[in-house]
Amino acid sequence: MLIFDCNGVLVDSEAIAATVAAQELTRVGFSVSPEVVSRFFAGRRPVDMLADVEAATGRKLPPNFHAVLASATLRRLRAELRSTAHIEHALTWLRGPKCVASSSTLDRVRVSLESTGLLRFFDPYLFSASDVPRGKPAPDLFLHAAAKMQANPAQCVVVEDSPAGVAAATAAGMIPIGFIGGSHASPNLGAYLTSAGARAVIADMRALKGTVVALRGW
């Protein structure tokens, strides 16, 4: 089975989401740049990001901040989001069961996939870290997805763009492929993904099928 992260893998959303998070945090008195948001929180649940911000600063965010941030992010995604280059090619040629396992809420995953025309490849197999006790880098989400899909974790290939996601896949006993083709990718991202456990790293989705075949013989 193939498990795809959503943000930064299926859709080129990381730069948008980091910009919105930085703007909203700064607006309520927590000055931070999009680069810092991307560096420390890529691939993680919003709830975990906000908890870390509060812990690091010793201050509480407004009670409704999570909802405000989610709403602002969805507005920007609906207006600006694009699919990752060549992802439809990859999804068309990769046979077998596929699902999405994202740190985002199901609402955001569905909006992202609907906006880019990719929902048809996965619906209804969409899974969110909101439904498990721990977010990435813990393995909970990927193990949850495998259980729901009745798949052996050792037979699952995960496509991820964040060290937290790759670490989660590794902890789940799955085979992680790192993706560095998003607009947010730093020059060092490939090395970070490899250090986290990626078995291969690709920069172009047209290489995904060949990489999966090489790793699994599918």
Which of the listed residues 58, 80, 102 is the one where a domain comes to its end? 80
Asked if 128 and 66 sit in the same domain, the reply is no
pLDDT tens readout for residues 155-166: 999 999 999 999
| pLDDT band with cut points at 50, 70 and 90 for residue 218 | low
Mean pLDDT for the stretch of residues 172-191: 94
Residue-range definition of the domain harbouring residue 43: 14-80
CATH number of the domain encompassing residue 72: 1.10.150.240
pLDDT tens readout for residues 101-149: 999 999 999 999 999 999 999 999 999 999 999 999 999 999 999 999 9
What is the pTM (predicted TM-score) of this model? 0.87
Asked if 70 and 87 sit in the same domain, the reply is no
Q: How many domains does the chain have?
A: 2
Asked if 23 and 70 sit in the same domain, the reply is yes
Asked if 185 and 103 sit in the same domain, the reply is yes
* pLDDT of amino acid 35: 87
CATH number of the domain encompassing residue 137: 3.40.50.1000
Burial bucket for residue 154 (CB in 10 Å: 0-12, 13-18, 19+)? exposed
* pLDDT of amino acid 41: 83
- pLDDT surpassing 90 at residue 39: no
